[in-house]
Amino acid sequence: QRFSGELDLLEHGLFDSSLQKRGGRLPLGENAADLRRVLESGTMVTRIETPRGLRALMPGATGAFFDVILPLHGDQNGRSVLSARFSLDGVAQRVALARNAALLLVAGFSVVLVAFGVYLIDRSVIGPTRRLMEATSAIAEGHLSHQLDVHGPREIAQLTSSFNTMTQALSHSRRQTEQTIESLHQANRELSETQGHLARSQKMAAVGHLAAGMAHEIGNPLGAAMGYLGMLKGESAGKPFLNLVNYTHNELERIDKLVRDLLDFARPGDAAQDAFDPGDAAREAVILLTHQGLFRGSMRLVDETPDKLPPVRAQRHKLVQVFTNLLLNARDACNNEGTVMVRGRFEAPWIVFEVEDDGPGMNEEVAAQIFDPFFTTKEPGKGRGLGLFFCHKAVEQMGGRLDVVSEAGCGSRFVLRLPGHEEEPA
């Protein structure tokens, strides 16, 4: 019944009980045996014939037919049979169309299944693996903060979690390494600074012993020579002779000043110390130099020292001498034209002073030697190279430190740090 619309009647024949043809165009032919069997049994017979070489009805094939032999009853001439032949070309065509549709449907489903499988594989395996490879490349470039989202199949999630754990461990190890390296750099800087202070202290000690011995050896004959010159100046003599005596006396005074400086440097630093406001010592040095007229005209001295600072315990006259030397050094650096500033502040536990000038400054090589004994940047005869050396030694004896910050063409700033002194309760 499903294919009744595709069956085309080719021919038919009506036969009586003696197989005599009574109507139709279908010859008796090879159907004789089937016709007799239908007459004898009274049951219907069907048969499908295919073209030669084909064992079954093939989709799209032509030439196949379908035979139906039916027994007929109630005829006045007795029993008869009806033989009909139908073409199966329409059925074969429909089967071919159905096969093609099935193939297309199977192909479509296959494409959809393959695409969906590829999507699932890409999402669950290929995508996470690609992200893992990208993260590995990022870590190889040093980006240890890179983290991945843990999702996907269990194996991929476990691999991603292990990767994140490894990244965190590497980041932590890197931070520890950087901290260790920074600690080593800091230790090296402190060691270099300590070695510098130690070398300077050793140099100071050697110069101190040399200064003490030289001062004692030179002091006595120098005093006698100056006494003899004083006696000669009292005698009546010509003007040329007196000028020569004066010149000699001036040179001996310079030697005497050098000897006194050396003696002051070599003197032990554990002399009597008092607690006082260090700002007063700075102001005393400023007033002293101002009254001497050393800062006037185009040379300015600006005092920004606070009115009150925590006390320090030291020798007041030595601290005044330190400020005086620093101010004179700044004045000479400006070549009598510029500004020198004095500042003071409290940065627990230190009292900090800064003496800054707008002179030509110093390069690193000069700044590294500025506190060495007998090192000077002044012209020959204008500096002995002991002023800053004396300041550095005196500040160390007070328990403080003296540093210089300078750059060529940008002036210099000497930073003096003194430890604060806490008054003991009565």
Confidence (pLDDT) at 290: 87
Residues 346 and 360: their CA atoms lie apart, in Å, by 29
Does 34 reside within a domain? yes
Question: Is the separation of the CB atoms in 118 and 149 below 8 Å?
Answer: no
* pLDDT beneath 50, residues of the chain: 1-3, 53-54, 425-426
Question: Is the separation of the CB atoms in 46 and 37 below 8 Å?
Answer: no
Return the DSSP state at 310: -
pTM here is 0.46
Choosing from 63, 95, 127, the residue where a domain stops is 95
Residue with tokens 């990767």: 163
Residues 117 and 19: their CA atoms lie apart, in Å, by 66
Does 146 reside within a domain? no
Question: Is the separation of the CB atoms in 73 and 86 below 8 Å?
Answer: no
C-alpha neighbours within 13 Å on the C-beta side of residue 124:
9
Confidence (pLDDT) at 22: 67
Does 383 reside within a domain? yes
Confidence (pLDDT) at 190: 86
- Residues whose CB is less than 8 angstroms from the CB of residue 334 and which lie 6 or more positions away in sequence, other chains included: 299, 340, 357, 358, 359
Does 198 reside within a domain? no
Confidence (pLDDT) at 92: 72
Query: What's the length of the chain?
Result: 426
Using DSSP bridges, classify how beta strands 80-87 and 8-16 pair: parallel, antiparallel or unpaired: antiparallel
Does 183 reside within a domain? no
Residues 245 and 132: their CA atoms lie apart, in Å, by 95
Confidence (pLDDT) at 112: 93
Does 311 reside within a domain? yes
CATH of the domain at 278: 3.30.565.10
Does 241 reside within a domain? no
Angle between helices 239-266 and 387-397 (to 10 degrees): 30
Residues 13 and 25: their CA atoms lie apart, in Å, by 6
Choosing from 48, 72, 95, the residue where a domain stops is 95
> pLDDT tens for residues 23-71?
655 565 667 777 778 777 778 887 777 766 445 556 656 767 777 877 8
- Alpha helix locations (H) across 122-153? 127-140
Does 42 reside within a domain? yes
Confidence (pLDDT) at 426: 44
> pLDDT tens for residues 377-417?
776 656 667 788 888 888 998 899 999 999 888 889 999 99
Residues spanned by the domain of 378: 270-419
Residues 331 and 358: their CA atoms lie apart, in Å, by 10
Residues 326 and 389: their CA atoms lie apart, in Å, by 11
Residue with tokens 């395996």: 125
Please give, one letter per residue, the 3-state secondary structure of 63-124: CCEEEEEEEECCCCCCCEEEEEEEECHHHHHHHHHHHHHHHHHHHHHHHHHHHHHHHHHHHH
Confidence (pLDDT) at 56: 55
Confidence (pLDDT) at 48: 73
Domain count, the chain: 2
- Residues whose CB is less than 8 angstroms from the CB of residue 273 and which lie 6 or more positions away in sequence, other chains included: 313, 314, 315
Choosing from 95, 118, 142, the residue where a domain stops is 95
CATH of the domain at 14: 3.30.450.20
